[in-house]
Amino acid sequence: MNRNQLDFCLNLEKACAIKPEVDSSNFDVSLEAEIPEALYLGMKDFIESHPRWDQYRVISSALANFLFQNGCEDRSVTERYLNDLFTLSDS
């Protein structure tokens, strides 16, 4: 992630605070990251055994989990965390 993407996200957050009618959960931000091979293989195995999940949903869920468990109080993060927590058994 370059600094411009981070600035965009921060500016979007400020705009949403000023204009409550703007829903930041409707925006996607592209993210490129290197992960250890063991995590990649684990994700690949999980996706193969859970056809409703894809790499984007797995990464998004993992990020929401991390943020929620580390004190993030953003409502959309909490909703994502709880939705994934209760729908994992359904998939």
> How confident is the model at residue 49, as a pLDDT?
93
- pLDDT of the chain along its 91 residues, tens only? 455 655 665 665 565 554 445 555 567 778 788 999 999 999 999 999 988 888 988 998 899 999 999 998 888 889 888 888 887 655 5
> How confident is the model at residue 1, as a pLDDT?
47
Q: Where are the domains of the chain?
A: 1-32, 33-91
Identify the DSSP state of 88. Answer: G
Quote the pTM value.
0.62
CA distance 25 to 79: 10
End-to-end CA distance of the chain: 30
Cβ neighbours of residue 22 closer than 8 Å, sequence gap 6 or more: 15, 16
CB 55 within 8 A of CB 42: no
